[in-house]
Amino acid sequence: MSAALIEAREVTKVLNGIVPVTLVQGINLAIMPREFIAITGPSGSGKSSLLYLLGLLDLPTSGDVLIDGRSTTAMTEDERAEVRLSRIGFVFQFHFLLPEFSITENVALPMRARGLLSSRAITARAEELLASLGLGDHRHKMPDQLSGGQRQRVAVARALANDPPVVLADEPTGSLDTMATSQVFGILRDLVTVHKKTVVAVTHDLELASQMHRRINVVDGRLAKTGGMAPSLTH
């Protein structure tokens, strides 16, 4: 059996204040290679908080998140940053593209941050990723020259820049119309079925969630129900 790519062990996150708020509590979860996972639940239930903990964008108050079997709470911040750059790609509800850069330059940013490739190789890979997502003819455009669905595809390309095995998506279709939602969901599905990635997506769309391998339901910061594999998808 394959080892988990990401594993949460008794992960709890508490925001300390006058009245402490528990965002997630006692989460145990293993994310395996080539899974397509939906995280669902009511608004304010802790879905996004859980995703940010799994992606090392936040640290747990207690418990641990393991990436490739390695404890991340024991890492330095520089070590965690390297893991984020090399092992995890992120797609958010709002694309967060930098408006002063072309879309090619936006896709190049994670590669420049990692510093392993030449400038020419970085540009070539960014353009290749954009072309693979149907945006090759737009590679010189600025973000504000694209539609919402196109900008989200650029965000997916940016998430794939360093070829991570895992893509974490927070409501990636939440701000899109029906057609763009279908296109972006199809891209995420193909990342799993064609490109052998693991994709974990927070979503309110239960119809989309029903088409994914596994549904994890979060209620009041706890795992309430885990669903099985969708019959329409195979590894």
User: pLDDT tens digit string along 140-192?
Assistant: 999 999 988 889 899 999 999 999 999 999 988 777 788 888 888 898 999 99
CATH 3.40.50.300 given to domain 6-226:
yes
Question: What's the mean pLDDT in 14-20?
Answer: 85
Cβ atoms of residues 129 and 207 within 8 Å = no
Measured in degrees and rounded to the nearest 5, phi and psi for residue 67 equal -115, 120
* pLDDT in the model for residue 217: 92
Provide the residue ranges of all domains of the chain, joining segments of one domain with +: 6-226
Measured CA angle at 108 (ends 144, 135), to 5 deg: 50
* pLDDT in the model for residue 192: 94
Answer whether residue 229 shows pLDDT above 60.
Answer: no
Q: At what angle do helices 103-114 and 148-159 cross, to 10 degrees?
A: 20
Cβ count near 191 (within 10 Å) = 21
Of 2-11, 135-144, 181-190, 221-230, the range with the lowest mean pLDDT is 221-230
Q: How confident is the model at residue 225 (pLDDT cuts 50, 70, 90)?
A: low
Cβ count near 215 (within 10 Å) = 21
* pLDDT in the model for residue 232: 47
* pLDDT in the model for residue 32: 93
Q: How confident is the model at residue 57 (pLDDT cuts 50, 70, 90)?
A: very high
Q: Name the amino acid, one letter, at 137.
A: D
pTM for this prediction: 0.90
* pLDDT in the model for residue 2: 64
Q: What is the pLDDT of residues 103-147, one digit of tens each?
A: 999 999 999 999 889 999 999 999 999 999 888 898 899 999 998
Question: What's the mean pLDDT in 183-205?
Answer: 91
Looking up tokens 């090392």 gives 56
